[in-house]
Amino acid sequence: MAFLHLKNAELINNLDIDLTKTKVTLIASEKIDKDLYRQVHTVLFKKKTGEVIKVITINNASNVECSMSGVDVYVISERLGDYR
């Protein structure tokens, strides 16, 4: 869904991205109801130019269906500070 949102916003196209290098990481999951969880992921898309587009997604999921809600997608354009 993140790829589709970026594509619809014309930030990427099918030829820009090397999908084999896409990385998805679950960063938070919270139970909000019986068999319903709110999940937060980071998704890194690597363009063939080497540029990386990083997004955060938030959606609800269950054991039956991976997407029980729409998916909010936030593009991270800049990192401030140094947490190391």
Give the pLDDT score at 55. 96
Identify the CA nearest to 41 among candidates 66, 63, 19. 66
In a domain, 82, yes or no: no
- pLDDT tens across 28-69, in order? 999 999 989 999 999 999 999 999 999 999 999 887 766 667
- The lowest-confidence range among 3-17, 52-66, 70-84 is 70-84
In a domain, 16, yes or no: yes
Token duo for residue 1? 């869904």
Compute the distance between CA of residue 21 and CA of residue 3 in angstroms, rounded to an integer.
13
Given a cut of 70, whether residue 18 has pLDDT beyond it is yes
In a domain, 84, yes or no: no
The residues near 22 (Cβ < 8 Å, ≥ 6 apart) are 3, 43, 44, 45, 46
In a domain, 83, yes or no: no
Residue 9 belongs to domain spanning: 2-76
For the chain, how many structural domains are there in total? 1
Q: What is this structure's pTM? A: 0.82
Coil, helix or strand for 5?
Answer: helix
Compute the distance between CA of residue 47 and CA of residue 50 in angstroms, rounded to an integer.
5
